[in-house]
Amino acid sequence: MRLSRYFLPVLKETPAEAQIASHRLMLRAGMIKQSSAGIYSWLPLGWKVLRRIERIVHEEQQRAGHHPMLMPTLQPADLWRESGRYDAYGPEMLRIRDRQDRDMLYGPTNEEMITDIFRSHVSSYRDLPLTLYHIQWKFRDEMRPRFGVMRGREFLMKDGYNFDLDEAAARHAYNRHLVTYLRTYERLGLQAIPMRADSGPIGGEDTHEFLVLAETGESEVFYDSEITDLRFGDRAIDYDDVAQCQGILEEFTSRYARTDETHDEAVFAQVPEDRRRSARGIEVGQIFYFGTKYSEPMGATVQGPDGKPVPVHMGSHGIGVSRLVGAIIEASHDENGIIWPEGVTPFHAGIVNLKQGDAATDSACEGIYRQLVDAGLEPLYDDRSERAGAKFATMDLIGLPWRITVGPRGLQSGKVELTSRRTGESEEVSPEAAVERVK
């Protein structure tokens, strides 16, 4: 992409309404524009990051055998009357009436709708286990939308639902989701710690939230510091292997780690004092096992091996896709701007032309641009006639992992400058070597 033709409306001034770094930086970098409280347009740069996160989420879900699909944003109220949640959900639900006077709602989550799909099409235990998921916009009329996309009213969520014959199978599905989530967050460049949590309006017995530690997080958390040393890393996973998934659950959840809702001072006191931590965290996902809470009232049964109908055991599992954009920035920025992890960066490298219009410099930039494109990468070439300082400031703000700076002086000795956004270190290298490093 050539910056002269791109739509990147960066702001010079820091927007007064933004209280935290990620919100400020997303506005300044031209990633989002608020349309009304807690509702945003995703401008081209923001949209690219959102899509890269979505893609990683899809890959990790499908690796575990979970099936992607898409349910609508608008749902009929009648489904929610069946589960009893239409009245119970409260003012966070946006209720809508269509011209036929039918009660509708903008979905805050999809347990009812997926259960309805399941009961319409699945009738035998032979079709289990089954996990379906989608990535779709949700609406919750939050009392205090704030911090940009972190607490929006309209937000993008991955929500997945498992259907299993019995509790043991559903617990395996729970553990399997925990594994997929650990992998997903690490690919996004984040450490997200599973913590024992409270189930809230989804209901159910077992639940973990995944939290990214950050001072600006809205959750209060308590944990054993040893947990921050755990890494999922590059492990071979067999998602059908019950013992392996259970082992990973135990590894990642046996140390004390709880949100304030389930925090227990007496249990916490058993953690050695020098390892006890209290901090703040951003909830980026949650997994639930809730058994037959929806399948029973909604009649989602299958015929068991003995021919008798049994209600299926279910769980639901959410990732805050749009919130993650903010969470990643909270975890990875400096005073000059965003520092994208490689996995989600909107462009792989920026090319800065120090003397636009100088034939040798222009042609060196074009050459690097083409080589990067040929290597399957997406460079952003700043080909505007701006001062070098302004170009550097834009690149620092939007946080691409690499900057390749090309100017007439360096080119005289066949060199360009390659700068890492994360470390700030620069090297003088040949254009070919720069391309190799970025690949």
Residue 212 CB, nearest distance to ligand ATP (Å)?
10
Residue 76 CB, nearest distance to ligand ATP (Å)?
21
Closest chain position to ligand ATP (CB): 320
Of the ranges 18-26, 220-228, 243-251, 280-288, which one interacts with ligand ATP (CB under 6 A)?
280-288
Query: Which of 112, 116, 164, 283 contacts ligand ATP by CB under 6 A?
Result: 283
Q: Is residue 284 within the footprint of ligand ATP (CB under 6 A)?
A: yes
| Residues 37 to 96 in contact with ligand ATP, rule: CB under 6 A | none
Q: Is residue 286 within the footprint of ligand ATP (CB under 6 A)?
A: yes
Q: Is residue 332 within the footprint of Mg ion (CB under 5 A)?
A: no
Amino acid identity for residue 134 in this structure? H
Applying CB under 6 A, what is the total number of residues that bind ligand ATP? Answer: 16
Other Cβ atoms closer than 10 A to 146: 17
Residue 73 CB, nearest distance to ligand ATP (Å)?
15
Q: How far, in Å, CA of 326 to CA of 100, rounded? A: 40
Instruction: Specify the pairing of strand 103-106 against strand 94-97.
Output: antiparallel
Q: In the complex with ligand ATP, which residue's Cβ is closer, 208 or 391?
A: 208
Q: How far, in Å, CA of 6 to CA of 9, rounded? A: 9
Q: Is residue 285 within the footprint of ligand ATP (CB under 6 A)?
A: yes
Q: Is residue 259 within the footprint of Mg ion (CB under 5 A)?
A: no
Other Cβ atoms closer than 10 A to 231: 10
407 is in the binding site of which of Mg ion, ligand ATP, none (Cβ under 5 to 8 A by kind)? Answer: none
Instruction: Specify the pairing of strand 416-420 against strand 154-164.
Output: unpaired
Instruction: Specify the pairing of strand 154-164 against strand 219-224.
Output: unpaired
Question: Hey, what's the torsion of the CAs at 237, 240, 243, 249, to 10 degrees?
Answer: 60
155 is in the binding site of which of Mg ion, ligand ATP, none (Cβ under 5 to 8 A by kind)? Answer: ligand ATP
List the beta bridge partners of residue 348.
none
Q: Is residue 328 within the footprint of ligand ATP (CB under 6 A)?
A: no
Query: Which of 23, 28, 134, 140 contacts ligand ATP by CB under 6 A?
Result: 140
Place of tokens 């639900």: 93
Q: Is residue 162 within the footprint of Mg ion (CB under 5 A)?
A: no
Q: How far, in Å, CA of 28 to CA of 25, rounded? A: 5
Instruction: Specify the pairing of strand 276-291 against strand 219-224.
Output: antiparallel
Q: In the complex with ligand ATP, which residue's Cβ is closer, 8 or 26?
A: 26
Query: Which of 318, 346, 379, 431 contacts ligand ATP by CB under 6 A?
Result: 318
Q: Is residue 194 within the footprint of ligand ATP (CB under 6 A)?
A: no
Q: Is residue 125 within the footprint of ligand ATP (CB under 6 A)?
A: no
Of the ranges 14-22, 261-269, 279-287, 411-419, which one interacts with Mg ion (CB under 5 A)?
279-287
Alpha-carbon distances, residue 247 vs 68, 175, 180, 191, 280 (angstroms) = 27, 9, 14, 19, 27
Q: How far, in Å, CA of 245 to CA of 252, rounded? A: 11
CB pairs under 8 A, 24+ apart, for 276-280? 276/222, 276/224, 276/225, 277/222, 277/223, 277/224, 277/225, 278/220, 278/221, 278/222, 279/213, 279/217, 279/220, 279/221, 279/223, 280/213, 280/214, 280/215, 280/216, 280/217, 280/218, 280/219, 280/220, 280/221
348 is in the binding site of which of ligand ATP, Mg ion, none (Cβ under 5 to 8 A by kind)? Answer: none
- Mask for 281-320, x = binds Mg ion (CB under 5 A): --x--x----------------------------------
Residue 283 CB, nearest distance to Mg ion (Å)?
5
DSSP 347: S
Amino acid identity for residue 60 in this structure? E
Q: Is residue 148 within the footprint of ligand ATP (CB under 6 A)?
A: no
Q: Is residue 320 within the footprint of ligand ATP (CB under 6 A)?
A: yes
Q: Is residue 322 within the footprint of Mg ion (CB under 5 A)?
A: no
- Dihedral angle sign, alpha carbons of residues 293, 299, 302, 303: positive
Q: Which residues bind Mg ion (CB under 5 A)?
A: 283, 286
Return residues touching ligand ATP (CB under 6 A).
109, 140, 142, 151-152, 155, 157, 200, 283-286, 318, 320, 322-323
